[in-house]
Chains A and B, each alone.
Chain A
Amino acid sequence: MKWLRLRTASAAVPSEALTRPQLGWLIAASAAAYAPHIGQQPVWLLSACLLLLGLRALLWQQRRPTAPRWLLVALSVAALGAVLIAYRQIFGRAPGVALVALFLALKLNETHSRRDAHVLVQGALFLTFATFLTVQGMATTLLAALSAWISLAALCAATHGTRGVRDNLLRSGRLLLMAIPAMLVLFVLFPRISAPLWGLPLDAHAGRSGLSDSMAPGSIAQLSLSDEIAFRAKFDDAQPAQQDLYWRGPVLSQLEGNRWAISARTRHSFAALPYTPRNAQARYEITLEPHGKNWLFALDYPQSLPEGSTLSADYQLLARKAVIDRRRYAVESAPVPGLGRDEPAAILDETRALPRLGNPRARRFARELAARADTPRALVASVLSNFREQEFTYTLEPPLLGDDAIDEFLFDTRRGFCEHYAAAFVYLMRAAGVPARIVTGYQGGERNPVDGYIVVRQSDAHAWAEVWYADSGWTRIDPTAAIQPSRIERGLAQALPRGEPLPFMLRADFDMLRALRFRWDALANAYNQWVIGYDAVRQRELMARMGMRDADWQKLAFWLVGLGALLLAVYTLWALRQHAPRDPWLIAWRRVTRKLARRGLAQEAWEGPQAYCERVAAARGDLAAAMKQIAALYCAGRYGPAPDNTALTELRRLARHFKP
């Protein structure tokens, strides 16, 4: 068999260079690794990566060699420069991810050998993982899993170049499935700390839409066009009526020009409830999407403070830290009659204050109304009836207003969105000397019939007013309800005139789409609640339910290590069983070859026993006789016509005593 051995030494050993299908797999794996980043990374970065990827794919498709080295070096320098210019540094999360993304595409352009393939697959897996540094939603997870699947298939292809596409996909899919138990053990038992391990930097939520700490005409109308979810709420028992769902957010008492802002005075906040708690009328849990500010939303008025929160002097629930991760908290609410009756004079003064100049017509109008009304309540009623009786229009597209915005709105344009009405109302009240302020937040929400969660979107953003009466304290007045009661009762879509640009999700003509969206939303919510929201508290709850009391990190680590070791043992046994020979002759023979392998004389997978025996005999003259005897017995036993048991016993004996 010498002729064969000579040949194989030079030609038949699978070469280290990658074949065309293998390269195709690597291109696919890199492309898949970019997929979860779409929408997360800047467009220039993704297009640059796509161009580099496309270059390699084109050369691959046309069976041409890779780009020259000098070009790649130049491109690498350019990539580094681009990242430096875009991020002003190369350290940190965002520039780091950008560098990995760019260099993965560059590496693909110089991938030739199997070693390169391993580097590339690892890079693709890392890039996939890096998605979770910015987003952790369900869709992202699915995309990342898909990408990992393709990357592993590419690894399979790079290792065994001879398999077909289906086989590689099946194989890597099986690997992923096998990883699931390990993943579950790690996920459930890994000791949770309150923040994600890699600590998202504060800038992560900078661009999010949501309420802000000031309001100008048009700002809420702008927000109303967004479908984005602000938070989800789930009531423990009965859900209050739709028109009572006023989710209190920032309270604006300071007016500067046309801009309403949070008052510095009310930033002072209470660590305990400033009033006696009452029996709750609504118990609910809120899952707040991160918005980067520190306000939490609740119905009027919270009867308990969720962990890590305070109550501002204007009764807004505040988190101690900005909400940069999805946050879940339980609240109980009940009305507190007469709240604010003993409001300090400073606050009352502030909520009566107006800028010295501006809006003369409104001031005059307020004085006229005040002269006719004998109580603040009567004044409120006459202002609201004025809104009702005059031709005011509720619209998402109010005309632009000048410096005297309130005047123009009240007497000229008469077209506005909730913030116009709230602002005009509060202005008139203050002009007549009644303390009043604007409350922003969300009104209503849509009940998802699939899981019973109330989904509150940015399009539910609302602004209303609060008036202070000497006898009953702060009282909510919603001027929008006076003009357009259906906004409060049935939601924005019903209240707007036909033909106005509505947020997509609110349109009635997409019923099927909405039903689908409900399902998706319920699924995403369940994922958020149980996967992303699986924090230290939930972990403790779950452990308690499974019978582990006070699950501290030591106990968890103990179980983690124990179960991990068990899993490892199961996998190992399974893998060994897969490869363990069943044939008794082969078992005895393997015993011999194992011993020889330890001496550097392993049997090649393709090598027959006789050829192997000759090779061993040539390399180790001292073993020649024993080896020939063993090989003869094995060959006759395994391949011969009538194997007998005495020969098997003899082979076993020889194998046992064989000492290379």
Chain B
Amino acid sequence: MPNSPSKNLQRVLEAASDVVLGKPHPIRMALACLVARGHLLIEDMPGVGKTTLAHALARLLGLQFARVQFTSDMLPADLLGTTIFERDSGRFRFHPGPVFAQVLLADEINRATPKAQSALLEAMEERQVTLDGETRALPQPFFVIATQNPAHQIGTFPLPESQLDRFMMRIELGYPARDAERALLAGMDRRQLIAQLAPVMDPTELEAAQAAAERIHAAPALFDYVLALIEHTRGAPEFEVGLSPRGGLALMAAARAWALLAGRDHVLPEDVQAVAPGVIPHRLLPAGELRGRSAPDLTAALIAAVPVP
């Protein structure tokens, strides 16, 4: 019998922590997002290890990896692929774009024009691409990690709120702690490390883990809690826009994946609270007191305002 999904995922986490140093929490969030079949948006400075994280995860899960640097002159075809006439065979042949990878790292997604952005976002939502009247399914599993650079917004096209909703989570990596950075400086080149990584799971096992996450039990008391959170975002004056039903579904799915990572067969309020900083803030439009507060602050305020029933 193969190892249980949660054991496998534990090993993925451990192995990834050896590569991306000092970031156990973001790694866990990213993995939970993946297990919950969601896409991930990382908002952070260049060079903090976004690519390393994405690449390492792909490698450990035995998935193909592709990376696209988004630029302002990028066209949808650069992403999706294009049909080219081949003289040898005298036929048109489709050359798939980088989107046909299992893990796609879309770097600096806000540099591209809305046209290219929406090509990616559509692919993310539908998990298929329609080109020249032909619909092509994307590989299974399909996982997009997009990054945004928050500091330099000049000449960019920030994603509108409606499109942010397509990402299950938005997280930040942040600088590594001193010890982790020392280990990083002293250690091997990350790219070599990744190349040496052996896959811990195969796509079938990942599929099994995703299915297992969906079966994690959520009790009525837990639904009461999630509903209370959702209602609070809709009723309270601190939020101009509350959580959408899609946001609620994402919250539940992520909490289930988090519970699976913890090796539990049921969801606790703590699971919801743990994934909330990734799932909730980018879907809300804070007003009043909370305007301009950071995502963790926002989540903490929300959680503190809603009692666990």
Interface of A toward B, CB cutoff 8 Å: 1, 3-4, 7-8, 11-15, 19-21, 161-164, 583, 586, 604-611, 635-636, 638-641
Contacts and interface: CB of A to CB of B under 8 A. Distances in A.
B305 interface: yes
B238 A162 contact: yes
Contacts of A610: 268, 270
Contacts of B274: 1, 4
B179 to A, nearest CB: 17
B54 to A, nearest CB: 23
A1 B301 CA distance: 15
A639 B237 contact: no
B266 interface: yes
Contacts of B268: 608-610, 635, 639
12 contacts: A4-B273, A4-B300, A12-B305, A13-B304, A161-B237, A608-B269, A608-B308, A609-B268, A609-B308, A640-B219, A640-B266, A641-B265
B1 to A, nearest CB: 22
B221 A14 contact: no
Contact of B304 (A14, A20, A636): A14
A164 B266 contact: no
Interface string B265-293: 11111100110000000000000110001
A610 B237 CA distance: 30
A611 B270 contact: yes
B300 A605 contact: no
Interface of B: 25, 217-219, 221-222, 232, 235-238, 265-270, 273-274, 288-289, 293, 296-297, 300-301, 303-308
Given A608-B268, A641-B219, 10 more contacts: A4-B303, A11-B300, A11-B301, A12-B304, A586-B221, A605-B308, A607-B308, A609-B269, A610-B268, A639-B218
A411 B265 CA distance: 113
Contacts of A583: 221
Given A4-B300, A610-B270, A164 B221 contact: no
Contacts of B217: 639-641
Dominant secondary structure at the B interface: helix
Contact of A7 (B221, B236, B288, B300): B300
B108 to A, nearest CB: 27
Contacts of A19: 237, 288-289
B297 A11 contact: yes
B288 A3 contact: no
A164 B296 CA distance: 25
A162 B266 contact: no
A610 B308 CA distance: 12
A217 to B, nearest CB: 67
B296 A162 contact: no
Contacts of A635: 266, 268
A21 B270 contact: no
Nearest to A160: B305
Given A19-B288, A19-B289, A1 B270 contact: yes
Contact of B305 (A1, A606, A608, A609): A606
A641 B303 contact: no
Given A162-B235, A607-B308, A8 B303 contact: yes
A20 B288 contact: yes
Query: Quick one: which of A21, A604, A607, A639 has the most chain B CB within 10 A?
Result: A639
A3 B274 CA distance: 9
Contacts of B269: 608-609, 639
A153 B236 CA distance: 16
Nearest to A167: B235
Contacts of A162: 232, 235-238, 305
B265 A640 contact: yes
A394 to B, nearest CB: 67
Given A610-B268, A639-B219, A641-B265, A7 B235 contact: no
B273 A1 contact: yes
Contacts of B267: 639
B300 A12 contact: yes
A640 B304 CA distance: 24
Given A162-B237, A635-B268, A606 B308 contact: yes
Query: Quick one: which of A11, A21, A583 has the most chain B CB within 10 A?
Result: A11
A9 to B, nearest CB: 9
Query: Quick one: which of B217, B270, B297 has the most chain A CB within 10 A?
Result: B270
A3 B304 contact: no
A603 B269 CA distance: 14
Given A7-B297, A636-B266, A608 B232 contact: no
Nearest to B289: A19
A403 B61 CA distance: 119
Nearest to B296: A7
Contacts of A604: 304
A8 B232 contact: no
A323 to B, nearest CB: 54
A546 to B, nearest CB: 46
Contact of A606 (B219, B235, B293, B306): B306
Given A19-B288, A610-B268, A638 B306 contact: no
B125 to A, nearest CB: 31
Nearest to B300: A12
Query: Quick one: which of B25, B217, B265, B308 has the most chain A CB within 10 A?
Result: B308
A20 to B, nearest CB: 7
A19 to B, nearest CB: 6
A8 B297 CA distance: 8
A636 B267 CA distance: 10
A163 B234 CA distance: 11
B124 to A, nearest CB: 28
A606 B303 contact: yes
Given A610-B268, A640-B265, A164 B235 contact: yes
A1 B276 CA distance: 12
A399 B274 CA distance: 92
B210 to A, nearest CB: 19
A578 to B, nearest CB: 14
Contacts of A609: 268-270, 308
Nearest first, the 5 closest Cβ-Cβ pairs linking A and B are: A605-B307, A641-B217, A12-B300, A608-B269, A12-B304
Contacts of B303: 4, 8, 12, 606
Contact of A639 (B222, B288, B306): B222
A164 B301 CA distance: 18
A161 B266 CA distance: 34
A609 B308 CA distance: 9
B233 to A, nearest CB: 10
A121 B24 CA distance: 50
Given A12-B301, A162-B236, A162-B237, A608 B270 contact: yes
A3 B25 CA distance: 10
B293 to A, nearest CB: 8
Nearest to A15: B289
A608 B225 CA distance: 10
Nearest to B225: A608
Contacts of B300: 4, 7-8, 11-12
A15 B304 CA distance: 12
Contacts of A161: 237
B304 A638 contact: no
A162 B266 CA distance: 31
Contacts of B301: 11-12
B237 A21 contact: yes
Nearest to B271: A608
A7 B274 CA distance: 13
